[in-house]
Amino acid sequence: MKNFLRLVKRVWRRVGDMRFVSILQVAILRFIASFSLLTALYYYFRRVYHLEQRGDLLGRIDRLDDTCIEGGTPFYQLVRNVHSLERGLCVKEGRRPVFAEGYILSTVMDLGQVIKYQDAEQAIARESMIALSLIHI
């Protein structure tokens, strides 16, 4: 019986220690969460979300490349806007009477640019194929 009581005391101490550690962890995490700089440092040192952050930056680079290069097509902006339109149309409850009025015109214009760009690329490819076929004749 003495051994059983010792075992119960040992287990109780460990449970108590775990509760203290859990309470301490919660307090520390609450303190960190109350400051955005500490939150950023916390996730930086834990190496969490680094792939998502890298993906976000690469997406921003692609978007800026599309819009900054002369003659480039706004393909990524078009994909983003179409996705937003799809999401807005799929909403069943709480749909606004008017949505996408801020970017619907730019979406249509971007679509026109992408179509023109693809038509030009196809025309160049056709001319190249004709030129290559004439060379081989």
CB 100 within 8 A of CB 88: yes
**11-67: per-residue pLDDT in tens?**
656 655 666 667 777 888 888 889 999 888 888 888 778 888 888 888 888 777 766
Cα distance between residue 29 and residue 18, in whole Å? 16
Residue 57 lies in a domain: no
Q: Which of 36, 56, 98, 107 is nearest to 78 (CA)?
A: 107
In this prediction, residue 134 carries a pLDDT of 61
Question: Does 119 have pLDDT greater than 80?
Answer: no
Residue 54 lies in a domain: no
Q: Which of 61, 66, 77 is nearest to 110 (CA)?
A: 77
Cα distance between residue 17 and residue 15, in whole Å? 5
Q: Higher-confidence residue: 73 or 39? A: 39
What mean pLDDT is reported for the chain? 76
Q: Higher-confidence residue: 69 or 36? A: 36
Q: How many domains does the chain have?
A: 2
| Domain span at 116 | 70-136
Tokens of 128: 């190249």
130 shares a domain with 81: yes
Residue 131 lies in a domain: yes
